[in-house]
Amino acid sequence: MSLPWAAICSGAIRENRSMHMTASQLLLVAAAASAAIAMGIALLQASRLRGLAWPSFVLGGGVLGLLALMLLTGRFGPEHLWFRTPAFYLAAVVLVAAGVWWLLRPASPMLRFGLPALLVAGLAVGALVARLDGRSAPIAMLLPTLDAPAPELSYFDTAGRRRTLAELHGRVVLLNFWATWCAPCRKEMPMLAKLQREHASDGLVVLYVSLEEPDVLGPFLSANHFDGIQGRLDHAAEYYGAGKFYPLSFLVSREGRVVHRWSGRPREDWLTAQVSAQL
């Protein structure tokens, strides 16, 4: 079967692309960069120290801009997406405030508008590069779910019977799209199977869904056992982006709402905490 280029790229590098930092470390970086900007602004008021002011201001702005871009593109993993990371909000507020200050200060129009335009252009190029080489998560995975109802999805179980996601209403479902050729998928699945074993009695169901044919899935599943439900996709709403990136996962609450979605293999402690919160 032919595979989308984006899926091949994401499957090849999704496992290792995330940088591991804690929320406190990210906040510390944002605070240090913000302090550098503030120092630069203060030093600009002293004519003798303007030579130190510009490096401090530009370095702080560059670090904050890069940090915001990396959070926006999911480079720190699903546990630190921009909307759940305080460092992003600090970076955004400081960058906007610094931009307003810069535009209001007396300077030639070329300098006043040229430097912000250069920064924005640099961030735009960085975002474009991240999109083209697969180093960021799918765009949908970078947005909050807003607890939206899980769209329709149907699959064939290992006995060939057609089943639906709606049949699992009332249980917490961890829906995982995977492929036999996807190395990060194969590394992630034992962790998902462990969650299934530990929380099956609490109402957790791990549902693995593949788009591959039975003659491909059969030998692989015969040689590899993963606790949970194995399914071959019949139909999925466009919301899921099935087959476009691997691996993709969705955590669905007992009420049938998508509470989390992510691309790639998350940290086990983060995933366990999110699943436990729904049980």
List Cβ neighbours of 54 (8 Å cut-off, separation of 6 or more).
Answer: 40, 44
Q: What digits encode the pLDDT tens for the residues 228-250? A: 999 999 999 999 999 888 999 99
Query: What is the spatial distance between Cα 249 and Cα 188, in angstroms, rounded to a whole number?
Result: 11
Is a pLDDT exceeding 80 seen at residue 11? Answer: no
What is the H or E stretch that residue 35 is in?
Answer: helix 23-44
Query: What is the spatial distance between Cα 68 and Cα 198, in angstroms, rounded to a whole number?
Result: 37
Other residues' Cβ atoms within 10 Å of the Cβ of residue 45:
9
Say what the pLDDT of residue 135 is. Answer: 54
pTM of the predicted structure, to 2 decimals: 0.84
- Structure confidence at residue 116 as a pLDDT band (50, 70, 90): confident
Say what the pLDDT of residue 168 is. Answer: 97
Q: Beta strands 258-263 and 248-252: pairing type?
A: antiparallel
What is the H or E stretch that residue 219 is in?
Answer: helix 214-223
List Cβ neighbours of 41 (8 Å cut-off, separation of 6 or more).
Answer: 53, 57, 98, 101
Say what the pLDDT of residue 12 is. Answer: 39
Which domains does the chain carry? 18-133 (no CATH), 140-278 (3.40.30.10)
Q: What digits encode the pLDDT tens for the residues 34-85? A: 999 999 999 988 767 778 888 999 899 999 999 998 998 888 888 999 999 9
Q: How far is CA 201 from CA 150, 167, 174, 205, 268, in A?
A: 23, 18, 15, 10, 20
More confident residue, 13 or 92: 92
Classify residue 21 by its DSSP letter: -
- Structure confidence at residue 217 as a pLDDT band (50, 70, 90): very high
